[in-house]
Amino acid sequence: MHEPEGKRAPRRLALALTLELACIPAAAATASAQVPQRFDVRMPMRDGVELSADMWMPADTGRYPTVLVRTPYIKSSGRYPRLGRFYARRGYVFVVQDARGRGDSQGSFDFFFADARDGYDTVEWIAAQPWSNGRVGMVGGSYLATVQWLAAREQPPHLVCIIPQAPAGRYFDEIPYMGGAFQMEWALRWINGTSARVAQGASLSQTEWTRVYQHRPLLTMDEAMGRKMPLYRDFLTHKTADAYWERILFTTEDFQKIAIPAFTFTGWFDADQPGAISYWEGMRKHSPARDRQYLIAGPWTHGGAIRGGSLTVGDMEFTPSSIVDVDSLHVAFFEYCLKGARPAFDFPRARVYVSGSNVWRSLDDYPPPQMVYRKLYLHSGGAANTLAGDGTLSWEAPGSEPPDRYAYDPQRPVPSDVGGEHLGIDQRVIERRDDVLVYTSEVLEEPLEIIGRVFVVVHAASDARDTDFMAKIMDVYPDGRALKLGPWQAGVLRARYRKGYRSEVLLTANRPEEYRIELFDIGHAFLPGHRVRIEVSSSAHPYIAPNPNTGNPVATDTEWRIARQTVYHDRARASHLLLPMMPATPKD
């Protein structure tokens, strides 16, 4: 659920995020029959607010199943008529609705907090119409995917299946926080873009971002940007997993009550992958419909997980088979679960693409049962700073080794992007900084395939009351390029949240602590001749608001201090990379 508008034009990711919002099939309609259409259909919600929808219907009078999209990105944007005709000519009513407070809908926009009840009320309104056969399915990507899960949690009787593509869902490990650290860049741009009723992104095209990002306190950075935004301030004020967030956080009990099929799309470079996988795992573990859940994960960005992919992400290249026809997959799923025209959905439980070797794997479950975690240990002689340092990775546990040290200056943060990009991009320019620790394996002689969640477990100390620790994983090619894997600029853990997100526990100066930094899910094969590399640092600007290292309240802090960090890799404190290893698998 990222950046619908207002990003810097040179960024390839920004283009993907602009295009991805509506999950628009590219295929042309298969018939030329007339498609009746209706605009600004008013749908009453339980509190009297009316939401506005546009509709496309089959030419023949009758009762039909309905495909529903709910969006905050303006239904009249011009993206939906083609999609409406696409479904209407296949025997579905297609409905696209402006979310509360956006476009032509009444009310006030407030992130996801009204979407559960509004989704329920919309589904049930549709089911009561004379053109409806009482069966409603939902589709859409990013924000449009999360609202599907929120509606499903309310259990509307006539919602029979969903296709969530790249849904958000882990609000302290995704948006607006990552590992408890505030996503400054995303929050400013996305909340501005959804302020008021129409698109606002163009207003930021000449923004002096360097000046804005230097403003403190964070709480008034929105005004420094040019717009006071209550939602931005709410996010900063609610800095723990309190009752504010509990309204949209899913529990085991929630998944136990959701009993409908879902076809989840995500990607190894998808910024909302944490949310997508969290819903998938919740349904597979707890739902009565656990055996009617399907997953596809490609080498895709956030936009690619909605459109079906592309041949490249940054400098990484994939085969044409990595691009899928989302139109056909959507229709096949709806023909099965919504229209009832097929007895089964002919798709594996999980289908994942392994970059590097560039093959698809069909799995009985995800994560794959045959996956086994192995530790790749950090080593050095105490000088892992920079690419030219002595940091290594090996399967052998450390013995007696000196720690590595660096100084983290929040007013000189590590950049989160390289040349305006971060996905699949060579990291060597960042690895030349002395506040970045670099650890590299020997050249591989055999393929090393990983499918699953990756962690970096760092044993570290700081002389500050609070700080951040960050990590990245790279595939180092024979020509020296270190291409970053994973969906985010870096995995992050803010020290005050090392014991969980419901409370803040500040550090004792210079006392070693364990930091389990999640790099999220990756499907990749490190090929012979390649090497594995990780970076450890304490900043990624402007993706994360730099931790000022003071321990003061984040929203109102105006002070800075340099933190002196120590990373241990000895017998008692064996820092390591935790890899979800796969056995040798034939291509399929």
Three-state SS sequence of 219-284:
HHHHHHHCCCCHHHHHHHHCCCCCHHHHCCCCCHHHHHHCCCCEEEEEEEECCCHHHHHHHHHHHH
Q: Which residues is 264 bridged to in the sheet?
A: 295
3-state secondary structure 487-556: CCCCEEEEHHHCCCCCCCCCCCCCCCEEEEEEEEEEEEEECCCCEEEEEEECCCECCCCCCCCCCCCCCC
What pLDDT score does 3 carry? 46
Q: Which three-class secondary structure state does DSSP give residue 77?
A: helix
- What digits encode the pLDDT tens for the residues 433-464? 999 999 999 999 999 999 999 999 999 999 99
How confident is the model at residue 419, as a pLDDT? 78
pLDDT given for residue 585 in this prediction: 56
Q: Which of 240-244, 276-280, 414-418, 521-525 is predicted with the least confidence, judged by mean pLDDT?
A: 414-418
Over residues 317-321, mean pLDDT: 97
Lowest mean pLDDT across 1-10, 84-93, 239-248, 460-469:
1-10
Centre a 10 Å sphere on the Cβ of residue 558 and count the other Cβ atoms it contains.
Answer: 11
- Could you tell me how far CA 542 lies from the centroid of its own chain? 17
As given in the structure block, the two tokens for residue 521 are 């899910």
CA-nearest of 409, 412, 462, 406 to 434 is 406
Mean local confidence (pLDDT), 201-215: 94
Question: Of the ranges 16-25, 113-122, 313-322, 426-435, which one carries the lowest mean pLDDT score?
Answer: 16-25
User: Tens of pLDDT along 344-355?
Assistant: 999 999 999 999
Average pLDDT for residues 483-494, to the nearest whole number?
96
pLDDT over 50 (residue 18):
no
pLDDT higher than threshold 80 for residue 78 = no
Span 348-397, pLDDT tens digits: 999 999 999 999 999 999 999 999 999 999 999 999 999 999 999 999 99
- Do 303 and 16 form a contact (C-beta atoms < 8 A)? yes
Q: Is the pLDDT of residue 290 over 60?
A: yes
* CA separation for the pair 475, 69 (Å, rounded): 38
Tell me, what's the pLDDT at 15? 31
Please report which confidence band the pLDDT of residue 48 belongs to, taking 50, 70 and 90 as the band edges. Answer: very high
Give me the domains of the chain, ranges plus CATH numbers. 13-23+34-169+250-363 (3.40.50.1820), 372-581 (2.60.120.260)
Q: Which residues, at least 6 apart from 27, have a Cβ–Cβ distance to it below 8 Å?
A: 86, 325, 327, 328
**241-258 as b/e, with b when 16 or more CB fall inside 10 Å?**
beeebeebebeeebbeeb
pLDDT band at 7 (very low <50, low <70, confident <90, very high): very low
Amino acid 32: pLDDT: 56
Residue 238 has pLDDT above 70, yes or no: yes
DSSP, collapsed to helix, strand or coil, labels residue 435 as coil
**Predicted TM-score (pTM) of this structure:** 0.93
Per-residue confidence (pLDDT) for residue 420, from 0 to 100: 78
Residues of the chain with pLDDT > 90: what percent?
Answer: 90
pLDDT at 34: 87
Tokens for 185? 């860049």
* pLDDT over 70 at 151, yes or no: yes
Contact of 337 with 139, CB cutoff 8 Å: no
Report the 10 Å Cβ neighbour count for 294.
19
Do 217 and 555 touch, CB atoms closer than 8 A? yes
For tokens 């000449």, what's the residue?
206
Q: How many CA atoms lie within 13 A of 305 on its CB side?
A: 37
Over the chain, what is the mean pLDDT?
A: 93
Alpha carbons 213 and 217: distance in angstroms, whole number: 10
Taking residues 561-586, what's their average pLDDT? 93
pLDDT digits (tens, 9 = 90+) for 530-545: 999 999 999 999 999 9
**Looking at per-residue confidence, does 34 or 586 come out higher?**
34
**Dihedral sign, CA of 376, 382, 386, 391?**
negative
Per-residue pLDDT, 79: 84
Least confident of 27-31, 154-158, 473-477: 27-31
- Mean pLDDT confidence for 235-241: 97
Residue 180 pLDDT > 60, yes or no?
Answer: yes
Mapping DSSP to helix (H, G, I), strand (E, B) and coil, where does residue 322 land?
A: helix
pLDDT bracket for residue 31 (50, 70, 90): very low
What are the helix (H) ranges across 46-114? 80-88
pLDDT confidence tier of residue 14, bands split at 50, 70 and 90: very low
Phi, psi of 372 (to 5 degrees): -130, 135
134: left (phi over 0), alpha (psi -120 to 50) or beta: left
Does position 507 have pLDDT exceeding 70, yes or no?
yes
Say yes or no to pLDDT of 421 above 90. Answer: no
Mean pLDDT for 232-261 is: 98
How crowded is the C-beta side of 531, counted as CA atoms within 13 Å? 17
